[in-house]
Amino acid sequence: MIATVEIAPMGRLRAGRRWKDRAFTAFLWACAFLAMVPLVLISVYVVSRGWHALSVNFFTKEPAGPLDPSAGGIAQSFVGTGLIVGMATLFSVPLGILTAIYLAEYGRGRFAGAVRLIAEVLLSTPSIVAGVFIWSLVVVAMGTFSALAAALALTVLMWPVIARAAEEILRLVPQELREGALALGVPRWRVILRVVVPTAGAGILTAIMLAVARGLGETAPILLTALGNDFINTNPLQPTDAVPLRVFADARTPVAALHELAWGGALMLLVAVLGLSIAARAVSSRQQKRMT
Amino acid sequence: MRRVEVADLSAWYGPKKVLHEVNVVAEPRKVTAIIGPSGCGKSTLIRCMNRMHEEVRGARVRGKVLFDGMDIYSPDVDPVDVRRRIGMVFQRANPFPTMSVFENAVAGMQLGGRFSRSELKVRAEGALRAAGLWEEVKDGLDEPGARLSGGQQQRLCIARALAVEPEVLLMDEPASALDPASTLRIEELIEELKRSFTVVIVTHNMQQAARISDWTLFMLYGEVVEFGPTSKMFTRPDEKRTEDYITGRFG
């Protein structure tokens, strides 16, 4: 005897549901589009205003005199930014990664909590505070504005970015890899340096690039520490120019030719930050492929 | 030849006691299987045998694990040295994703000390041969280890454990994530390995325990129910609970 089984009919997709689905999809698209609008507007505007300034002189010359300001460039700003951000990266990368390793691999209890809290507070501290802090601590003590002081101010801002982002990435490294290495009789610190950190490598690189991008564009902290300079300076203990400082200074003058240079500087900052962000995205997507 | 003797061993995760005064002996050149239902503490027990248990936050141990009579939990014993001499293979193959097949095979040596390139080559080949993987990977030693198949990855992990020349090999469900063909290869491999090692294997597969082990430990709720020669355990167990478990009445 064969038992017959009643099969309940599948519910039908009603027109109302379909319409709701479409409306909501359209709404989400609109939101994404709206979010893109300011970015596109800013980019287009900065490019349209700034690209006139780009010339050989712009990259190779120091500011010309007031008689013909358009003949000058902002070479000193590029050199200064390179010097300041370079030093800041040199300070904040080891500090940030070591902090991240401590927090992710060893940190437990009160002290780790305090370190994490400090990093988080620094992350959301207005950057001018970092400037004032280093000004009172370094500039006043040394009796001079300097690239070194600016680099220290940026380190205060970049260190927590690297520390917190790298900590999260180190936590993503599967526990099985640590155990696999420990079970081979490898000391813990070597497991971290040779297995955990390389596995998280691309992610850590991303964190560094994002921190550098932040450091590149900061104005307030270096205003109070690097001061600015009309000439190329490579001495870390002397006042130094930087691209954001130059944009700020030139934009405040009534001289049209200097406004042009300011737009050019702004464009270069935009390009650098965009470039770093895109590179960071590329690196992290490669990382994701490898982790899975 | 190393004998591992677990004496009155208890283990905790935080406040939760998961092993209750366990006693068991793993004889040299024999395979000792630990069986029992999920959560009975078999993985915890094997992890206590090379001090991996304490790597979990809040984990604690009381009792002794004697390695040829020497307590590995004695305060002056370095856990790093314990783990070098008592190797471990895990349930999920975990080759190091940044390393090639070759680098994975000798990872324990490269990370743990300084060896010449030629010495590494000799050991890598020896370990990969012992793990029955050499023929399959000898032309792709520089390929990423993570690109191998699941069964190959697990044999790579066994090779990695063998390359540091341990004296005991602990295997925590080494075949449970593998297909039947790969499982068979691992089981054949264990037959080979027991000629030169003390092997302890955790498995939830009773047929596997019956096939490959000489001694079997049956655990339930963190306690030893029965420990004896495998042939006896699977034919004339002393305990009713053992019989119920191996005949599939629970677990």
Q: Is residue A22 part of a domain?
A: no
Any A CB within 8 A of B169 CB: no
**Helix/strand/coil for B184:** helix
Query: Are A181 and B97 an interchain contact pair (Cβ–Cβ within 8 Å)?
Result: no
Contact A185 B80 (CB under 8 A): yes
Is residue A3 predicted with pLDDT exceeding 70?
no
* CA–CA dist A270, A46 (Å, integer): 8
Separation CA B240–CA B190 (nearest Å): 30
Q: Considering CB atoms only, which of B50, B92, B107 is closest to A181?
A: B107
Among residues A188, A193, A182, A176, which one has the least CA distance to residue B86? A182
CATH of the domain at A183: 1.10.3720.10
| Residue A140, domain extent | 56-61+70-291
Q: Nearest residue of A to residue B164 by CA position? A: A184
* Domain limits, chain B: 4-94+167-246
- As for the ipTM of the complex, it is 0.90
Of the candidates B55, B81, B146, which has its C-beta nearest A182's C-beta? B55
Alpha-carbon distance of A232 to A75, in angstroms, equals 7
Amino acid letter for position A219: T
- Do residues A225 and A150 make contact, with C-beta atoms less than 8 angstroms apart? yes
Q: What is the pLDDT of residues A217-230, one digit of tens each?
A: 999 999 999 999 99
| Token duo for residue A132 | 């004032």
A159-172 tens-digit pLDDT: 999 999 999 999 99
pLDDT (tens digit per residue) in A59-109: 999 998 888 888 889 999 999 999 999 999 999 999 999 999 999 998 888
Q: Tokens 């366990």, residue?
A: B22
CA closest to B161 among chain A residues: A184
Longest Cα separation, chain A: 108
Q: What is the pLDDT of residue A2?
A: 64
Q: How many domains does chain A have?
A: 1
SS3 category, B70:
strand
CATH number, span B4-94+167-246: 3.40.50.300
Record the pTM: 0.84
A residues 200..219 contacting B (CB < 8 A):
201
Q: Yes or no: say if A237 and A148 are a contact pair by the CB < 8 Å rule.
A: yes
